Amino acid sequence: MNEMQVIVVGLIALGVSVIFFYYTDIVPRQIENREMDVIISLGIGLLILVVDKRQHHYLDEIIQTQHRTTQEIHNMIKKEIELIDEIRQKTNKG
């Protein structure tokens, strides 16, 4: 599940729970709209935190893959340089 799907599912769950608690009166009457806004904001913040952690992991994998590729290219270049040096030495001797 990608990040956008996680956000959409989380927002839908948050909306359904708010509507459920609003119409069933399970939440005490003392909770005001301002407090409900804080609860909703904290829920959205938690969703963003989860998505950010997943994105960080994804970016870390990309960086490691690029690092491996760069190392392989570096090793290939080193081998080519060694081969060129060997050819130069053979041509200078002959």
Q: How far apart (Å, rounded) are the C-alpha atoms in residues 29 and 19?
A: 14
CA angle 83, 70, 61 (to 5 degrees): 155
Residue 32: predicted pLDDT: 62
Structure tokens at 62: 């990309």
Model pLDDT for residues 35-94, shown as the tens digit of each residue: 677 777 777 777 777 777 777 777 788 889 999 999 999 999 999 999 999 999 988 886
Q: State the Cα torsion 26-31-37-42 to the nearest 10°.
A: -70
- Answer yes or no: pTM beyond 0.75: no
